[in-house]
């Protein structure tokens, strides 16, 4: 097909492997085998996914849908462009009961295929091609290609968060806030922050988030809070979890079923925002999606209705938080015991980050480590300049297998001992 020329977007802007493609391909079984490794011997700290079991109530609801011929038939129909009304209604109750979000209505919510698709549409609804957006450094690697695809000619302007020298996160909020002000004065009108963050699992202070929201409001800009990991906070619940677009009209909350419901492949996301923004996203939903998934919407609505009524949902969320908090603490103990690396103490989410040993380039280190030990880490280059010599380690996929976390960290330690001898 080489004689056929594709678009400049594909041929130029998206040429080569993106950070996300690199991560996914490194973990593919075919790649593992091609390196001469047995996939069963590989321990992966690379996965950007959770691994807890979805609630049994949710599974039972899907079974009810599938086993009822007429119900299953109805689940294959188009939903409204903004998504199933009952689910949007239940999401309002969910946000109020679990996170104390006040004054949400169905007019504040639109459903979509996923937070990935919806972020793409948020960009197109707010930002013109050639206008830049802001993100913290480091940040979710997929934002970079989303910007390339959604708003051609635009770029991400990074705001410093992780200090690669001290390995501390937002240790002084004055400088990054001044950087944000400067970018806003040049026309930037969108800042996106994952909370908790991917790749660092940090949660910015309330002072920082509130100040950023006010700066953007002063410049008629928007703060997008990417809540893909919202249900996985570890200690005190952040105040921004209860923010409502009713009180803060420049807040856009981006949500996904992927992490909290362990529904990575059952794709469904939603946005909470001022009705003016929801109306704009509805126009885009019509051409990019047309109809959010009806079956997943029905199942999620029924699940929320049942578990909010019997109070089992809060228990599920609390148990899930504890599972990942305990797993994160176990990984930190192993790093302290076997490696002595610096790392960011997770405040939620699925990850931690460490500098590469001996200042080695992450991609080189990760490839050698995988080939020699069967341990997969993720190189940090794709997450932002501050991780140019950093690594992301995920404990999420091993939440039920702490023994593999210890074995994996031990293997890294033995590998480093051998290489340092040589």
Name the residue ranges covered by the structural domains of the chain: 10-54+314-421, 56-310
Can you name the CATH fold of 10-54+314-421? 3.90.1150
pLDDT for position 195: 98
Residues of the chain with pLDDT under 70: 1-2, 17-20, 23-24, 422
SS3 for the chain is: CCCCCCCHHHHHHCCCCCHHHHHHHHCCHHHHHHCCCCHHHCEECCCCCCCCCCCHHHHHHHHHHHHCHHHHHHCCCCCCCCCCHHHHHHHHHHHHHHHCCCCCCHHHEEEECCHHHHHHHHHHHHCCCCCCEEEEECCCCHHHHHHHHHCCCCCEEEEECEECCCCEECCCCHHHHHHHHHHHHCCCCEEEEECCCCCCCCCCCHHHHHHHHHHHHHCCCEEEEECCCHHHECCCCCHHHHCCCCCCCCEEEEEECCCCCCCCCCCCEEEECCHHHHHHHHHHHHHHCCCCCHHHHHHHHHHHHHHHHCCHHHHHHHHHHHHHHHHHHHHHHHHHHHHCCCCCCCCECCEEEEECHHHCCHHHHHHHHHHHHCEECEECHHHCHHHCCEEEEECHHHCCCHHHHHHHHHHHHHHHHHHHHC
- Give CA–CA dist 218/184, Å, rounded: 9
pLDDT for position 1: 56
pLDDT for position 17: 67
pLDDT for position 6: 84
pLDDT for position 254: 99
- Give CA–CA dist 285/300, Å, rounded: 20
Look at residues 72, 106, 112 and name the one whose alpha carbon lies nearest to residue 90: 106
| 383 token code pair | 């997450």
Look at residues 151, 217, 230 and name the one whose alpha carbon lies nearest to residue 189: 217
pLDDT for position 5: 84
Q: Is the pTM of this model over 0.75?
A: yes
pLDDT for position 16: 72
Q: Does domain 56-310 have CATH number 2.40.100.10?
A: no
pLDDT for position 12: 82
């Amino acid at each position: 097909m080489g004689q056929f020329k594709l678009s400049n977007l594909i041929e130029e802007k998206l040429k080569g492997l993106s950070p996300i493609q690199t991560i996914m391909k490194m973990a593919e079984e075919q790649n593992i085998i091609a390196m001469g490794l047995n996939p069963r011997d590989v321990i992966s700290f690379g996965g950007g996914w959770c691994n807890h079991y979805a609630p049994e109530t949710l599974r039972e609801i899907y079974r009810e849908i599938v086993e009822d011929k007429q119900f299953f038939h109805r689940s294959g129909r188009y939903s409204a462009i903004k998504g199933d009304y009952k689910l949007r209604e239940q999401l309002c109750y969910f946000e109020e009961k679990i996170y104390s979000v006040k004054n949400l209505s169905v007019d504040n919510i639109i459903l979509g295929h996923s937070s990935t698709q919806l972020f793409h549409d948020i960009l197109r609804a707010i930002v013109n091609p050639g206008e830049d957006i802001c993100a913290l450094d480091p940040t979710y690697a997929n934002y970079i290609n989303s910007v390339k695809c959604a708003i051609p000619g635009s770029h991400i302007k990074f705001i410093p968060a992780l200090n690669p020298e001290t390995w501390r996160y937002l240790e002084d909020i004055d400088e990054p806030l001044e950087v944000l002000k400067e970018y806003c004065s040049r026309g930037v009108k969108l800042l996106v922050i994952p909370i908790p963050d991917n790749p660092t699992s940090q949660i910015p202070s309330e002072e920082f988030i509130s100040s950023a929201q006010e700066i953007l409001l002063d410049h008629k800009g928007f703060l997008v809070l990417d809540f893909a990991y919202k249900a996985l906070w570890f200690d005190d619940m952040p105040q921004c979890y209860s923010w409502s677009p009713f009180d803060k009209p420049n807040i856009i909350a981006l949500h996904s079923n992927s992490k909290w419901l362990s529904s990575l492949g059952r794709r469904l996301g939603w946005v909470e925002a001022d009705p003016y923004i929801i109306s704009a996203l509805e126009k885009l939903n019509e051409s990019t999606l047309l109809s959010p998934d009806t079956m997943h919407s029905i199942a999620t609505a029924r699940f929320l209705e049942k578990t909010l009524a019997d109070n089992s949902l809060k228990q599920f969320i609390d148990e899930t938080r504890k599972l990942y908090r305990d797993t994160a603490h176990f990984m930190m103990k192993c790093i302290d015991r076997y490696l002595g690396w610096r790392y960011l103490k997770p405040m939620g989410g699925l990850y931690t980050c460490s500098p590469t040993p001996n200042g080695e380039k992450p991609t080189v280190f990760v490839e050698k480590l995988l080939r020699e030990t069967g341990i997969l880490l993720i190189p940090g280059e794709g997450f932002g300049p501050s991780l140019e010599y950093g690594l992301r380690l995920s404990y999420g996929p091993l939440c039920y297998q702490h023994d593999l976390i210890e074995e994996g960290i031990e293997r890294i330690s033995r590998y480093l001992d051998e290489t340092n001898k040589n």
